[in-house]
Structure 1
Amino acid sequence: MSYQIELFHSLLNDFLQGESALLTIEGEVLAVRGEHPATYGTLSAAAGVVGKYLKLQEGDIAILNDPYSGGSTLDEMTFVMAISEDLLWVSRRPMMKSIKSGKSVEEEGLRIPPTPLRQHGKVNDVILSAMQAHPACPPHFADWIKAQFAEMTLKTQRLFETLEATGFDITAELIEDYLELSRNLATQRISENASGETRVDIVLDSGELLRLNLEIHEGRIRMDFGGTSSAKTIHLTESAAFGTCFHTISRYYGFTQYANSGTFSTLQVTKPAGCWLMAKYPASTLKGMNSGVAALQAAIELALTHIHTKREKALSSYSPLSVQLQNQSSQVVFKLSGGQGAKATKDGACATIESLSIEKIERELPLKVIRADLRHSLGGKGKHNGGRGLIFKVEALEDIHATWLSDLTLHKPRISKNCSHGDPCEVSLESNGSTKVLPVLGTQLIAKGDVLTLCSGSGGGFGKAE
């Protein structure tokens, strides 16, 4: 790797924080970074839609949260900024988090299609005020948007100050070399492992079938979802589905840090028209971004395990347990991550609870946190155990409303005889001396004195226990 390419790669890592991407104005993806798998397809889709319908000049910024224009969920805003004549920066940032599922995306909040909100250095206050006046718009939305614009402008200035100070020039030749190197790296890492083909079926609780035919040959991967059913309640956009497919294989083979048009070319994804991986407006995509993404990850990892038997691994609990607790105007939203699957050589990693502030939750809402730690998992046992999920148990001091969204893949897929399944997510309510198991997706009034228990899933175990 040349010094110029190493420097360019380092520059991308420093600049792209959180869920973000950098593209050329012609649509070449230079880099994508982020934690959510769908990010790896949706951010470039957002840039493509903005580039098709809007002509951004240097410094202009367009915003969107519409899943059908490259957004994710309505509580996250995607910003597309022309940082030069040649480059687009796409950044996705969370607004006030919420869990609101409806029959259509329009019922879930304020849907914003690609909108040019800052042009020639000025914010369009008329459009911004109209958004703020919408009943579903989060409070202080206009101020938050302007703060994001200011932060993005400052960060862009610092980027070009760095480029000027170092004399570094992002040329077309450098981009071409970087994408070619990335493609060759991905091809090599895929080729170092076994080739072959397999089929995996996963049935979601809501009735959808996910059928994956995966083929690996000469450093390229083909995913054919022929046979996948139409949607019942799970809908995932095409760009989110591709992003999840790419993220899963790039993590498996170790080239996620080189997510760009070069490495994208090693993956071919085919989906039949009308299946739930090809959502059409105005279908709600909230469940798809949670349960649908988790089902895709599980299917791909299971298929890779079938082909790469020497790297066999138990399934992880991919879908976090998303929770919203609300009392009048106070609201707290958080996620409980799941445990990782065990390998032939070691236990799976347990879920962590570091980002969850018990003090903040008890300050914001009339409840008492009884327990917040690792659950005592009954599944995922083996010579090496699966990573344990989390348990979060609260007592309501006043009436509170709870909404939660979890994995909808309780119909366990067939796995290797060397592996065992972990525990699924569980939600239960203790009221008047009795305990009731609640569905993995729902809304419930938690009356004063009731105890709500939320458990995220655990990873699967590997091998027979000695």
Structure 2
Amino acid sequence: MMTQTQVGTELKKIDPITVQVVLGALENVAIEMGHKLARMSYSSIIRESEDFGCALVDINGQQLCESSHSTPLQSGPIPGYVKGIQQIMEERKDTFQPGDVIMHNSPYHGASHGPDVGFCIPVFYQDKLIGFSVTTAHHLDIGASTPGSCGIVDAVDAYAEGLQFKAIKVYDRGIKNRYVWDILMDNIRAPKLVVGDMEAQIAAARIGAQRYIEIIEKYGIETVEEAAEELMNYSEKMMRDAINKLPDGEYSAEGFLDGYLDSDDPSKKDLKIAVTVKVNGSELTVDLTGTSPQVSDRPINMPLVGTVDIAIYLTLRSILLDSTKYGNFPQNSGLTRPINIVAPKGTMCNPIFPAPTIARFNSGNIVADTLMKALAQVVPHQISAGVGNLQVVAFSGKTEDENYWVYMDIMEGSYGGRYGKDGMDAVDTLYANTRNNPIEDIESHYPLRVNRYELRDHDSAPGKWRGGIGSVREVTFLSDGSFSVEADGHKFAPWGFDHGKSGSVGGLSISDEETGEIVKLPSKLPNRTVSSGSTIQLVGPCGGGYGDPFERNPEKVLSDYFDGYITKEKALSDYGVVITNDETIDYNKTDALRKNN
């Protein structure tokens, strides 16, 4: 059976087998780019945590494929990077040329935030621009006022967040612009590490461009373009069909961010994210009207393109097109065509330059979490209860020869309970999706010792399906240094659903080796110097419970007790399960207690 797609004014035909062959070829390019970038990189945030993205994009800014093993917060924004680059190039009356390599990190022109630097290579075939090969990655330092590229929670504007690169040609027609590279080496802490990672990005993007041309040469430019459009139409149809199953109407929810809990300014804390989902046939609008105004002198704001849109697209795709039901299907820009986003200017979800945005990570997770809360009203079996947010820590110090070392650690959160399943413990949530960095890697590369890394005791949120459990990590400095923290969820607990209980908040504290004094710290902490022997403790939030706890299988409650997730007292009070002194279930008393509840 033949499928059809419109190309120009001529109706072309392409068979579905060819479409799938081209899809496999494109996807393999992105996967190869990702594997090679990870292998060539120096820093653990790229090499181990896989905080990077790779994609091919057509000349209209539509994403053709993405590296499946990278984080959505890196691969997803790549079309925005390309459109931002195109906008700036047009304004400058500049043009793309063979051999160009363009560096870009402007959060007001599509980039996710400043440390996520993109390298874009225009791809030419027979002297015609046909698309772009792009890599993005988070870099450990970008030249901000304090060490590291996370935990910069006190930047007063975009200029204080570090170096800004707006469509800068680091290679012009194949010739290296050495002066730009000199600026990088002179203004970035740990320059060999960071610049080495950037060079790895360029090499991976060049591989992508080469492979893209090989596909064109094998199948022909028209066939590839027709197949790509057919794939996007297919993905669009999948999303439209899923939206069409939802009842028309409006569904609203609110979520809250800690903000700056230690601030005397009420406009900097208890910040609201408002979401209204409007369903109209196969079109869906996410309206963020009612969200708190931007915080003009703190970097908790989110770029609309690059962060907010990705949080929304990823959540809708995950919930409405769950891969366990729909299987593997093309990840491309067709998925976003039926989705509209409304975000008033001057709010946290659509700030006005130069409002700072570097610490937008946790804020975007609350956008995704609140969107899921709104969708719970129409697809209750497809969402989880409230999600425990993440904590990002920048550790830094100086070596004996006064050179900087910088390490970035993403402390995972947890998911809420789901229909039919307990919440996932100690994982990166929603659009983050980075991997855990092994303790062995940390201790072999940095003057840090991880003393404790384990799940929280007795803190899982009660529900028919319990909430996921956050982790506890204690890290000791083996030399003098500093750290900064970008976190949230220390005041507002993850929400429970359908009679499930709320989860538990996170925490941050530091203890001094000499005095033993333990000091509790806020969720957002600017760079703080510490002496050798000081220990910080990070406690991740626990996700909310799903469903009535008194409906949980008593055997699972007993298992939770044995695993240390709950105490015997909580089994009784939260679940109505009586555990005897010999650690068995008294079914008669349990049944009686539950009936009287």
Q: Using structure 1 for the length normalisation, give the TM-score.
A: 0.90
Moved more, 163-172 or 64-73: 163-172
Cα shift readout 1:7-38 (whole Å, capped 9, x = no counterpart): 23222321223513322213333345565454
Cα shift readout 1:84-131 (whole Å, capped 9, x = no counterpart): 221112210233352234112222222211112223222222333234
Moved more, 348-357 or 366-375: 348-357
Contact map agreement 1:235 1:287 (CA 8 A) in 2: yes
Aligned: 1:348 with 2:423: yes
Amino acid paired to 1:236: M
Aligned: 1:295 with 2:366: yes
- 2:521 corresponds to which of 424, 438, 454: 438
Q: Secondary structure at the match of 1:369?
A: strand
Which residue in 1 is equivalent to 2:56? 22
1:179 and 1:111 map into 2 onto residues whose CA distance is 33
1:28 and 1:344 map into 2 onto residues whose CA distance is 35
Change (3 A) 1:152 1:342: same
- 1:337 corresponds to which of 397, 407, 412: 412
Give the drift of 1:57: 2.5
1:49 and 1:350 map into 2 onto residues whose CA distance is 37
Aligned: 1:93 with 2:134: no
Give the drift of 1:409: 7.1
Contact map agreement 2:140 2:406 (CA 8 A) in 1: no
Amino acid paired to 1:457: P
Give unmatched runs, 5+ long, in structure 2: 4-15, 35-51, 142-147, 260-268, 324-328, 399-403, 429-434, 550-574, 577-597
Change (3 A) 1:117 1:420: same
Q: Secondary structure at the match of 2:469?
A: coil
Q: Secondary structure at the match of 1:9?
A: helix
Which residue in 1 is equivalent to 2:567? none
2:241 and 2:130 map into 1 onto residues whose CA distance is 30
Which residue in 1 is equivalent to 2:121? 81
1:414 and 1:365 map into 2 onto residues whose CA distance is 37
- 1:373 corresponds to which of 440, 454, 463: 454
Which residue in 1 is equivalent to 2:379? 308
- 1:236 corresponds to which of 265, 290, 302: 302
Give the drift of 1:155: 3.8
Give the drift of 1:285: 0.8
Bigger Rg over Cα: 2
Q: How many residues align?
A: 464
Amino acid paired to 2:396: Q
Q: 1:101-250 alignment to 2 at 5 Å? A: 101=153, 102-134=155-187, 138-139=191-192, 144-165=197-218, 170-206=223-259, 207=269, 208-232=271-295, 233=298, 234-239=300-305, 240-250=307-317
Amino acid paired to 2:368: Q
Which residue in 2 is equivalent to 1:260? 332
Give the drift of 1:401: 1.6
Cα shift readout 1:389-431 (whole Å, capped 9, x = no counterpart): 2211123444332211112573347653422222222112233
Change (3 A) 1:186 1:409: farther
1:170 and 1:59 map into 2 onto residues whose CA distance is 25
Contact map agreement 2:490 2:523 (CA 8 A) in 1: no
Give the drift of 1:435: 2.7
Which residue in 1 is equivalent to 2:45? none
Give the drift of 1:456: 1.8
Q: Using structure 2 for the length normalisation, give the TM-score.
A: 0.71
2:162 and 2:436 map into 1 onto residues whose CA distance is 26
Which residue in 2 is equivalent to 1:12? 26
1:81 and 1:178 map into 2 onto residues whose CA distance is 23
Give the drift of 1:230: 0.9
Give the drift of 1:246: 0.9
Change (3 A) 1:59 1:414: same
Moved more, 248-257 or 421-430: 248-257
Change (3 A) 1:173 1:321: same
2:497 and 2:115 map into 1 onto residues whose CA distance is 39
Give identity over the alignment, percent: 20
1:401 and 1:140 map into 2 onto residues whose CA distance is 19
Aligned: 1:459 with 2:473: no
Q: Secondary structure at the match of 1:107?
A: helix
Which residue in 2 is equivalent to 1:46? 81
Q: Secondary structure at the match of 2:335?
A: helix
Q: Secondary structure at the match of 2:409?
A: strand
Amino acid paired to 1:77: V
2:207 and 2:392 map into 1 onto residues whose CA distance is 33
Change (3 A) 1:446 1:117: closer
Give the drift of 1:219: 2.8
Contact map agreement 2:495 2:502 (CA 8 A) in 1: no
- 1:270 corresponds to which of 342, 350, 367: 342
Give unmatched runs, 5+ long, in structure 1: none
